[in-house]
Structure 1
């Protein structure tokens, strides 16, 4: 095939749908591709027809110009698709298999992968551990907000759905397995959420809503979600969460009104480096605001899961220190309370099979909880714009019209 429509980052605030190259089993030079990866052969890969490919808040950071992403980068790391071609070294994945693609690319062979730390694979990104599709400084693997995408180490990376018809009936839920559902779940697991826990989730975007869903799935007694956006808070309330409007002031006071105590057992940061302040400073960026709030409200001996993205390069940061990822966090408070912290990419493969089973057996309705909204690939720029304006939706792109047919 000669063409492949994909969503391309043009400049801050602008994405467009362009015709790009159809994937091959050799990495080519292009925007963001690490020079050491150019010419890299991938006989272990599969070419996947993208059935569903989502817009993520992490993509939005790049589109806002808050990273060093180069113009021309094909975006997209939340991919669900059908295998249409396999390389000569692929043994078990077959053409026609419907699969979820973990957003973090891993080889399955290095020390970290063998320890289950697939978010920091040592072999896929020459610059640093860890990689992802269509993302800045992640090795230059082409993104999957497109009609087709190359998936390396296919036998290792792809999660095959057991029954195609059953999967298509639940395809919007299963589309969340590539990133936000495991990421939210990871935030809760690392925060120690279990039966009877009280949980505060900072951020009611899709990852925050996925974390809140995960907390309930794990048996939390009370899940409180904090945000500035009333529509997103209403979405959290729609499936049983309590909510805190941080524009009204310190979450601690509102949490006490809900629980009778100003502390929670577990905290999850689903906001990341573009955090804003609370109360009168709610419209001003304060990159460390969420981290400091969580250290304040999580009980002594508790834990904080941090699936929210933090970066080492932010040209739009409010101060020079934050531009290189240096934040004024109250580490002394966290130390005094013996808090535990977990950061970094979610190791998707640690959770996605279990979460798939929860979806297939009707234990969770993640697509409904995050308000998954299907739009054609050509409307991706509109989806980015609405998401940036705070729409309480998780936009799912439908490159081939298969989601519209399924619904």
Structure 2
């Protein structure tokens, strides 16, 4: 029988690759019992993983900054080849190569019908919305693996039109499962448009994808802020301006040196709840980035917040933050009539159009985020390198299919 191997959380700072059962066309027990759904999933497919990426959101779990249990399988950025098709799957065939949105969605509930697939009502009994391999997200097996089951496949999967072309561009296309749509969502909901100026907080892969997306949307100047020199250089490599937050200098003043004024038209938080204060060696201060973007965004601006905020953080700086309550200066945002967009990116809202840009050679997102291919067995060491600030997007190639 075919085996399966998956990356597993083993405790703070530790992951391992372990063998698990080969997936079946069945829903997780948590979903079945919690929502009263049938166990059998003829609407599902089994994918042989072509590529699966390490995400900054995974790092929150691996650092021990969530309530993820030891043994939690990891991985929600998945691209794969269909190898088994359920009886009720109508439009997919074995051999199709598809992108898997990290949001698991039924395609039938009110939220899905409103294109809000990040908060589907029928895939997680604990709360709206689900994802593969993530804490409190429904018990779905992670995709940093050799094989994975995808439910409601006709609705969820984005099939690439040409297999050979897809494999040729796989390092760009693998970003469609999460960070490219997520970064685009951040920039788009912040209101980035032709000629606008934008500030992106964070030069990790999502921040870089947001900066790249802001350029696609027509921004005249994109400024990226971070404390990691290598990541700032990566942002500069595709035309962004940068500000070094480790300097301790005032953010508005640094922006003014670039734009001639301390304000931008749109701002994006691509950092989330593990934010730190400004200056070298600054302590953790989880509201820093949210307060920064309200400060530097002009009146009437939009704020895109794809950075992750959680309701359970055992490693937080105080008891309030452990429950997701942080010191946000909401009065500033209210006084400036800012609009805020938070939550999971609804990947399906954007992924087809972004795929078309990639296939037309108009979006080299892999180069922008510095994609690097690794084997499944190299994942644990790559998690550690990423945690130390590597300016790299690690792409796992479990079966050696990446050219």
| TM-score between both structures, scaled by the size of structure 1 | 0.97
**1:143 aligned to 2:153?**
no
Match of 1:265 in 2: 265
Secondary structure of 1:224's aligned partner: strand
Paired position in structure 1 for 2:255: 255
Q: Does 1:116 align with 2:115?
A: yes
Q: Could you tell me how far 1:36 is from its partner in structure 2?
A: 2.6
Distance in 2 between residues matched to 1:65 and 1:40, nearest whole Å: 31
Q: How far off is 1:253 after superposition?
A: 1.1
Deviations 1:291-334 (A, max 9, x none): 00100000000010000000000000001100000011011110
Mapped to 2, the partners of 1:316 and 1:40 lie a distance apart of: 36
CA distance in 2, matches of 1:393, 1:320: 33
| Pairs within 5 Å for 1:286-297 | 286-297=285-296
Is 1:278 aligned to 2:289, yes or no?
Answer: no
SS at match of 1:329: coil
Counterpart for residue 34 of structure 2? 36
Alignment partner, residue 130 of structure 1: 129
Alignment of 1:7-406 (within 5 A): 7-27=7-27, 36=34, 40-249=39-248, 250-279=250-279, 282-403=281-402, 406=403
Q: CA deviation at 1:28?
A: 5.0
State the match for 1:5 in structure 2.
Answer: 5
Change (3 A) 1:34 1:328: farther
Secondary structure of the 2:300 match is: strand
Change (3 A) 1:120 1:28: closer
Q: 1:163 to 1:2 in 2, by over 3 A?
A: closer
What is the distance in 1 between the residues matched to 2:191 and 2:396?
Answer: 33
Alpha-carbon shift at residue 33 of structure 1 (Å): 7.5
For 1:34 and 1:58, how far apart are their aligned partners in 2?
A: 26
CA–CA distance in 1 between the matches of 2:203 and 2:148? 30
Kept after mapping to 1: 8 A contact 2:169/2:359: yes
Where does the alignment leave 5 or more consecutive residues of structure 2 unmatched? Answer: none
Q: CA deviation at 1:41?
A: 2.2
Query: SS state of the match for residue 233, structure 2?
Result: helix
Q: d(CA) in 2 for partners of 1:39 and 1:111?
A: 20
**Secondary structure of 2:354's aligned partner:** helix
| 4+ aligned runs moved over 2 Å, structure 1 | 32-41
Per-residue deviation, residues 262-319 of structure 1 (Å, max 9, x unmatched)? 0000000000000000126x53100000000100000000010000000000000001
- Using the TM superposition, give the Cα deviation of residue 73 of structure 1 relative to its aligned residue in structure 2, in angstroms: 1.3
Q: How many angstroms apart in 2 are the aligned matches of 1:379 and 1:16?
A: 10
8 Å Cα contact 1:256-1:262 kept in structure 2: yes
Whole-angstrom distance in 2 between the partners of 1:102 and 1:302 = 29
Structure 1 pair 14/33, CA: closer, same or farther in 2 (3 Å)? farther
Q: Measure the CA separation in 2 of the matches of 1:367 and 1:34.
A: 37
Question: How far has the Cα of 1:34 moved from its partner?
Answer: 8.0
Q: For 1:39 and 1:313, locate their aligned partners in 2 and report how far apart those are by CA, in whole Å.
A: 30
Partners of 2:175 and 2:2 lie apart in 1 by 30
Which secondary structure does the structure 2 equivalent of 1:402 belong to?
A: coil
Deviations 1:99-154 (A, max 9, x none): 00000000110000000000000000011100000000000010100000000000
Distance across 2 between alignment mates of 1:363 and 1:63: 34
Provide the aligned length of Structure 1 versus Structure 2.
Answer: 401
Which whole-Å CA distance do the structure 2 matches of 1:35 and 1:242 have between them?
Answer: 51
Q: Does the 8 Å CA contact 1:34/1:139 hold for their aligned counterparts? A: no
Contact 2:28 2:139 in 1 (8 A): no
Structure 1 window deviating more from structure 2 (316-325 vs 39-48): it is: 39-48
Deviation at 1:378, TM superposition (A): 0.5
